[in-house]
Amino acid sequence: MGRMVRKQVYIEPRQDALLKQRAKILGVTEAELIRRGIDEVTAATANYDDRMKAWDEMKQYIREHRSMEVPQTERGWTREEIYEERLARFTR
């Protein structure tokens, strides 16, 4: 585990009761449970930061491609022609 740094924190009485209860259930010290909690929070935050970065990149990609000039081609058929062709095919 390496070198430890001592920290003093203030928690609410309900948090103290929960901490004691959970540490007893898990068979670990309260300090170990606090260390695990810090690891969980920082891991979740790192994942959040990665997701936000990916989202920002996607928004930039969309902005760039939204302004692209795309040549428009005219259709060589109408909706009615397609409908008539399909109707003729299936009503024989």
Instruction: Indicate the pLDDT class of residue 91, thresholds 50, 70 and 90.
Output: confident
Does the residue 16 lie in any domain? yes
Q: CA–CA separation, 87 vs 91, rounded Å?
A: 6
Does the residue 24 lie in any domain? yes
Please give the pLDDT value at position 7. Answer: 92
pLDDT in tens, 6-64: 999 999 999 999 999 999 999 999 999 999 999 998 887 778 888 889 999 999 999 88
Does the residue 76 lie in any domain? no
Cβ partners under 8 Å of residue 22, min gap 6: 33
Domain range for 27: 8-68
> Dihedral of CA 37/38/39/44: which sign?
positive
Does the residue 52 lie in any domain? yes
- For the chain, how many structural domains are there in total? 1
